[in-house]
C-alpha cells in the first residue's frame, strides 16, 4: 500500500495527503525540459539527413546520393577546406588572445573587478550578431575608422582593403567567438592552486617560466575546450562571412544559404549541412579524447 505524507496544522487535524516523489522521478521531472529540447534537435537532424538523400522536388520520396557526390566537386571541396581552415585559425588566435585575459580573471581578488571583467568578456554575446557585423563594416571599410586612424598616423598612404576578403572575416570570427575561449580557460586556470606557482617560484623560476611551465600545462584541458568551442561555433558561422566576406569568401554555411534561398535545392543544402556537422563532431570528439587523456594525466600526477 502506497505511503503518503500527512501535513498537520497546529490543532493536529490532517489538512491533505501529499504523495512523495522518488528521487529518480524528481530527477527526470527536472530534466524533462532539456530532454524535450534534445528530442526536437534529434528529430530536426534526422529530417535534414533524410532530405540530404532525396532529390530536388522529391525530398521525402526520392532517394539519391547525387547531393553528396556534388560535394566532391572542386568548388565545394574548396568551400569545405576554407571553412575548416578559417575556423581553425580563428580558434588558435582566439585562444592565444584569451589566455592572458583568462589568467587575469582567475587571479583577480576583488569581486567587483571580477564582475567587471566578466561583463566585458560577455558583452559580445549580449549584442546581436548582425549588429556586431555591421559594426565591423563601419570599422573596416575603406573610409572606416581603422583606415582613417592609420592614414592619420601616416602609417598608410591609401586605404587598405579589409572587407570582402578572408582577413575581415577572420577578424569578425575571432571577435564574436572570443568569449567562448575566455570562459573555459579562466575556469581551468582558477583551478590551478597558487601553491604550485609559489613552489616553482621558490625553486628559482621566473614569472614567465611559472606561467609557461606550470599554469599553461595544468590549464591545457580548458584551453583545448575553449579552442574546440570556438572552432565549432565558427565552422557553422553564417552572418559574419556573408556580411564581411560577401561572395568572395564562400564558407560552407553561406553556400548552404545560396542553395536554399535562390535555388530551392534542399537536398544539396542538407547534404552540405550533414557533412559540416559530421566533420565538426569528428574534430570535437578527437579534442575531447585528447582533453580526457590530459585530465587523467594531471589527476594521476597530483
In this structure, the dihedral spanned by the alpha carbons of residues 43, 49, 50 and 55, taken in order and rounded to 10 degrees, is 150
CA 179 to chain centre: 9
Helical axes 166-190 vs 74-106, angle rounded to 10°: 40
* pTM score of the predicted model: 0.81
Parse the chain into domains and list their residue ranges.
68-301
* Mean pLDDT value across residues 252-261: 85
* Cβ-Cβ contacts under 8 Å for 196 (sequence gap 6 or more): 214, 218
Q: Does residue 182 surpass a pLDDT of 90?
A: yes
Which among 2, 29, 34, 35 has a CA at the least distance from the CA of 18? 2
Q: How confident is the model at residue 241 (pLDDT cuts 50, 70, 90)?
A: very high
State the pLDDT at residue 6: 47
Beta-bridge partners for 135? none
State the pLDDT at residue 15: 46
Q: Among residues of the chain, what percentage have pLDDT more than 90?
A: 20
Which comes out higher in pLDDT, residue 6 or 107? Answer: 107
The CATH fold of domain 68-301 = MetI-like fold (1.10.3720)
Kindly state the greatest CA–CA separation across the chain: 90
Q: What does the radius of gyration of the chain's CA atoms come to, in whole angstroms?
A: 26
State the pLDDT at residue 233: 92
Q: How confident is the model at residue 181 (pLDDT cuts 50, 70, 90)?
A: very high
Mean predicted lDDT score pLDDT of the chain: 85
Q: Does residue 198 surpass a pLDDT of 90?
A: no
Amino acid at each position: 500500500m502506497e505511503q503518503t505524507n500527512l501535513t498537520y496544522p497546529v490543532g493536529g487535524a490532517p489538512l491533505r495527503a501529499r504523495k512523495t516523489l522518488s528521487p529518480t522521478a524528481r530527477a527526470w521531472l527536472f530534466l524533462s525540459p532539456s530532454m524535450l529540447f534534445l528530442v526536437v534537435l534529434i528529430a530536426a537532424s534526422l529530417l535534414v539527413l533524410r532530405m540530404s538523400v532525396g532529390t530536388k522536388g522529391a525530398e521525402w520520396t526520392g532517394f539519391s546520393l547525387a547531393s553528396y557526390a556534388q560535394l566532391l566537386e572542386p568548388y565545394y571541396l574548396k568551400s569545405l577546406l576554407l571553412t575548416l581552415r578559417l575556423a581553425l585559425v580563428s580558434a588558435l588566435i582566439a585562444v592565444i588572445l584569451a589566455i592572458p585575459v583568462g589568467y587575469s580573471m582567475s587571479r583577480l581578488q576583488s569581486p567587483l573587478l571580477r564582475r567587471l571583467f566578466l561583463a566585458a568578456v560577455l558583452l559580445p554575446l549580449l549584442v546581436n550578431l548582425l549588429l556586431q557585423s555591421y559594426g565591423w563594416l563601419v570599422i573596416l571599410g575603406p573610409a572606416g575608422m581603422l583606415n582613417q586612424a592609420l592614414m592619420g598616423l601616416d602609417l598608410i598612404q591609401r586605404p587598405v582593403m579589409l572587407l570582402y576578403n578572408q582577413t575581415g572575416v577572420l577578424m569578425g570570427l575571432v571577435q564574436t567567438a572570443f568569449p567562448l575561449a575566455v570562459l573555459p580557460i579562466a575556469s581551468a586556470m582558477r583551478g590551478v592552486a597558487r601553491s604550485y606557482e609559489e613552489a616553482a617560484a621558490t625553486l628559482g623560476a621566473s614569472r614567465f617560466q611559472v606561467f609557461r611551465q606550470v599554469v599553461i600545462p595544468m590549464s591545457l584541458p580548458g584551453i583545448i575546450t575553449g579552442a574546440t568551442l570556438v572552432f565549432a561555433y565558427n565552422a557553422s558561422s553564417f552572418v559574419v562571412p556573408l556580411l564581411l566576406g560577401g561572395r568572395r569568401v564562400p564558407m560552407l554555411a553561406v553556400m548552404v544559404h545560396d542553395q536554399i534561398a535562390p535555388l530551392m535545392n534542399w537536398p544539396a543544402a542538407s547534404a552540405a549541412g550533414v557533412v559540416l556537422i559530421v566533420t565538426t563532431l569528428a574534430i570535437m570528439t578527437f579534442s575531447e579524447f585528447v582533453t580526457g587523456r590530459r585530465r587523467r594525466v594531471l589527476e594521476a600526477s597530483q
